[in-house]
Amino acid sequence: MAKGILVFAEVKDGKVKNVAFEMLSAGRKIAGQTGDELAAVLIGKGVAGLAGSLAEYGADKIYVAEDDKLAQYTTDAYSKVLADLIKETDPATVLLGCTVLGRDLAAKTAQKVKAGLLSDCIAIDVEGGGLVFTRPVYSGKALLKAGVPESSPAMATIRPNVLTAEPAAGKGEVVNYAVNLDASDLRQVIKDVILQVSSRPELTEANVIVSGGRGVKGPEGFKVLEDLADVLGGAVGASRACVDAGWIGQNLQVGQTGKVVSPTLYFACGISGAIQHMAGMSSSKCIVAINKDEEAAIFKAADYGIVGDLFEVVPILTEEIKKVIAK
C-alpha cells in the first residue's frame, strides 16, 4: 500500500524555493500524526549540495536525481524522472509548489501515474486517517475540500507563502536516484531563455507587494510605489487596467488573469477592487487600501484603509515606514 509523503523541491538560481520548505513543514506535522515517512526530491544538475537544507526542514529521505539532461527544466525530462520515482517508491501523497514550473510538472506527472491532482491548495489536514486538501475555486469566491482515495496517489500543488516554513530536523538520508532518460523522452528543446533583470523579488514569493491600479494614471506613476516597495524589500504589482493600458508588463499583473499572490502585506494603491483583482490577492495576510474614492470596493477587503490621493499619501507613508523600520 502506498505510504509516505514526497515533496518536490524546486530549485531556482541555485537555491531551493521557499515553498518547498513550507511543504516540508506541513508534511512534518502530518507525518507526526500519521507516522508517514517524509521524503523530498531534488531534480537537476549540481543540486546535491542542497539536500542538507531539506533535512533541516524535516526531510527524512532526500532523493537526488542528477543528469546533464536535467540542467534546464523541460516537462518531458522532469516528469519522466518524477513519475519513475513515484512508481518505484509508491508515496501516498506527492506535493509540489504551485509555481509556473510546479503546475506544469504536476499535471504531466499526474497523468503519467494516473493520479488525482488538486491545484493551488491553501491547506492540508488529516481527517479520518486520510489527507484533505482545501483549494479556492471560482476565483476564490468559494472553497473546495477534497481528497484522493487510496486507489491512486494523491498529488497537490500548494500555493506559495500560505503555509509556514519552520526548521525541524529530519533524518536527512541522501539517496542518489539513477535517472533513466532516453532521447525519445525529450522532445522539448529550449532554444533561448530571456530573463528580466529585477532587483525585486518574484511576485508569488514576495513578502510585501505594492500594487497600483488605474489611479496610478500612467507608467511614471509607478515610481512612488517602487520607492515604497524598495524600502520594504517588496515587489511591485498592478491591476489588469494598468497592464492593458501598457503602463507595466503583464508579468506583474495580479488577479484572475495574472498572478495569484499571498504576501504578508499587500498595498492596493489606486485600485478599485474589482472581483478579478480580488481573486489574485484576497489571501494576503494584511491588506492596505489607498484610494481617493471612499466607496471603492477595495476598502471592504482591506484591513487598513486611507481615503486619499495615492500621490500624496504613498510618499509620506514611505518616509514614515522608514522611520518605523529604523527604530
Partner 1 sequence: MNIAVLLKQTFDTEAKIEIAGGAINKKGVGLIINPYDEYAVEEALKLKEKNGGEVTIISAGADTPDAMRQALAMGADKAISVEDPALAGGDEYTTAVVLAKAVSTIPYDLVLAGWREGSAQVAVRVAEELGLPHINVVTKLDIDGGKATATRDIEGGNEIVEVPVPAVITAQKGLNEPRYPSMKGIMQAKKKPIQKLSLGDLGLSADQVAAKVKVQSYFLPSAKAAGKIIGGEAPQAAAELARLLREEANAI
169 touches partner 1 (CB under 8 A): no
Phi then psi dihedrals of residue 87, to 5 deg:
-65, -40
Compare residues 74 and 89 and give the one whose CB is closer to partner 1: 74
Q: Does 295 bind partner 1 (CB under 8 A)?
A: no
Eight-class DSSP state of 70: G
Q: For residue 183, state whether it binds partner 1 (rule: CB under 8 A).
A: no
> Distance between CA 112 and CA 82 in Å, rounded?
10
**Do residues 235 and 229 lie in contact, with contact meaning Cβ atoms separated by under 8 Å?**
yes
Q: Which is nearer to partner 1, 28 or 259 (CB)?
A: 259
List own/partner pairs for 309-312 with CB under 8 A and 24 or more apart.
310/212, 310/215, 310/216, 310/224, 310/269, 310/270, 311/221, 311/224
Q: Does 1 bind partner 1 (CB under 8 A)?
A: no
Residue 141 interacting with partner 1 (CB under 8 A): yes
Identify the residue whose cell numbers are 493520479: 115
188 binds partner 1 (CB under 8 A): yes
190 contacts partner 1 (rule: CB under 8 A): yes
Instruction: For residue 127, list its beta bridge partners.
Output: 130
Nearer of residues 116 and 179 to partner 1, judged by Cβ: 116
Comparison of 34 and 256: residue with beta carbon closer to partner 1? 256
Q: Binding to partner 1 by residue 288, rule CB under 8 A?
A: yes
Q: Strands 265-269 and 286-291: what pairing?
A: parallel
Question: Taking CB under 8 A as the criterion, which residues in 45-64 touch partner 1?
Answer: none
Nearest CA among 207, 182, 204, 119 for reference residue 156: 119
Query: Which of 247, 299 has the CB closer to partner 1?
Result: 299
- The span from the CA of 79 to the CA of 148, in Å, is 20
Per-residue binding letters, 147-166, with partner 1 (x by CB under 8 A) = xxx-xx--------------
Determine which residue in the list 2, 48, 71, 107 makes contact with partner 1, applying CB under 8 A: 107
CB of 260 to partner 1, least distance (A): 10
Residue 286 binding partner 1, by CB under 8 A: yes
* 137: β partners: 142
> Does the protein bind partner 1 through residue 198 (CB under 8 A)?
yes
Q: Is 313 in the site for partner 1 (CB under 8 A)?
A: yes
